Amino acid sequence: MNQKPRFPAQALHDQIVAVLRAWGWSSESAEASATVMVEADLNGIDSHGIAMLLYYEGLVQAGALNPTPRVIVERERSATALIDGDRGLGHGVSLQAIDLACDKAESVGVGAVAVRRSDHFGAAGAYAARAARRGMVSLITSNGFTRCVVPAGGARPMFSTNPIAFGAPARRNPPLLFDIATPTTSIGKVNLAWLAGKPIPPGWVVDGAGQPVTDAAQARVIIYDTGEGGLTPLGGTAEMSAHKGYGICIMVEVLSALLSGATAAPFHASRTPGPGGTDTGHFFLALNPVAFRSVDEFHADMDRLIDALRATPPADPARPVMVPGDIEWRTRAARESEGIPLEPKLLGELAALCARSGINFQLRDRS
């Protein structure tokens, strides 16, 4: 069996920075985006890592991204703030937002920061992990521009994948990290299946008639081009409680877009981003355990909770019960040691992108 070529995290970081710099990003902005993207690749969330450069190139070509945004705090109170991302990529402004939320939580116990006029911010869990490293419980949400998720009972997409992440630190255990998209899967995972030449499971995507689609190439056409059908919300069908995923999609829109004044996905007149950008909104909530109880007691109970869940008798002895974040921590440890695997087709796409950008392609397979 042919193994995928593997690369150290620094190599991916340097390649991302080189591409973004070629597109006109400042060194600081490029470093911020590369940091969050490589974090996703290290944690096994390959859909939101270096592969996202292929999507970002389209935004650059459409003039939808501002390579040199002037990020400003528009409103601020002791526990809250609103930040304008000035049509830049979402990574840098989101790092600023979660840091500000944590600063406020350290000061007054809670910090809530909303962001508008931003764009894709990568894996939401990266910001929850950052907050956990500062000892904070956090909730992170983002809406999106690309309408690709149908409402429960609907036949036309009205939402993006609307990610939501939750994090909480412990003492002995790594932080509990819960990071999901509100449909049954993400667009990035459909893209990864396409890059790998693999089918997608039935139930991930439906066509305009509500029928399941398993061909990844056809699914991409439905998601990106047709405006009919799309990803199903969590649950997939009425019998499997799709109304719950639908409700979470709405909640994310309210927190991310309506609070900040960003554009909610159902309000976009076009599915094609233009010079006005995507006006994506994000929301970052940080809670300081010290504001509620002794931090030592909180950490002890977090460890107790994590240990109790892992000790649950498994239905399959070969698959022990895990808690959110376990897979990511294990994947990260392996990839820090062995390198980050990349699909050969993705490497080909990245090589072509670098050629179009007029820079050296650094990720050549030396195996």
Q: Residue 238: its pLDDT value, please? A: 79
Spell 81-118 as b/e; 16+ CB within 10 A means b: bbbbbbbbbbbbbbbbbbbbbbebbbeeebbbbbbbbb
Q: Residue 1: its pLDDT value, please? A: 47
Q: Looking at the domain assignment, is residue 20 inside a domain?
A: no
Q: By residue range, what is the domain housing residue 128? A: 69-177+243-304
Q: Residue 212: its pLDDT value, please? A: 85
Instruction: Answer yes or no: are the C-beta atoms of 233 and 150 closer than 8 Å.
Output: yes
Tokens representing 244?
Answer: 């719950």
Q: Looking at the domain assignment, is residue 140 inside a domain?
A: yes
User: pLDDT tens digits for 242-252?
Assistant: 899 999 999 99
Q: Residue 126: its pLDDT value, please? A: 98
Q: Tokens 């050549």 belong to which residue?
A: 364
Q: Looking at the domain assignment, is residue 190 inside a domain?
A: no
CA pair distance 218, 211, nearest whole angstrom? 12
Q: Looking at the domain assignment, is residue 154 inside a domain?
A: yes
Instruction: Tell me which residues of the chain have a pLDDT lower than 50.
Output: 1
CA pair distance 58, 79, nearest whole angstrom? 37
Helix (H) or strand (E) holding 129, with range, is helix 125-133
* End-to-end Cα distance, the chain: 14
Residues 6+ apart with CB under 8 A from 309: 321, 323
What distances in angstroms separate CA 324 from CA 129, 158, 230, 282, 305, one per listed residue?
Answer: 12, 28, 27, 22, 12
* Count of domains forming the chain: 1
Name the residue among 137, 136, 164 with its Cα closest to residue 253: 164
Q: Residue 154: its pLDDT value, please? A: 81
Instruction: Answer yes or no: are the C-beta atoms of 215 and 362 closer than 8 Å.
Output: no
Tokens representing 107?
Answer: 């000061």
Q: Looking at the domain assignment, is residue 202 inside a domain?
A: no
CATH code for the domain in which residue 258 is found: 3.30.1370.60
Instruction: Answer yes or no: are the C-beta atoms of 302 and 164 closer than 8 Å.
Output: no
Instruction: Answer yes or no: are the C-beta atoms of 47 and 192 closer than 8 Å.
Output: yes
Q: Residue 225: its pLDDT value, please? A: 84
Q: Looking at the domain assignment, is residue 167 inside a domain?
A: yes
Q: Looking at the domain assignment, is residue 298 inside a domain?
A: yes
Q: Looking at the domain assignment, is residue 182 inside a domain?
A: no
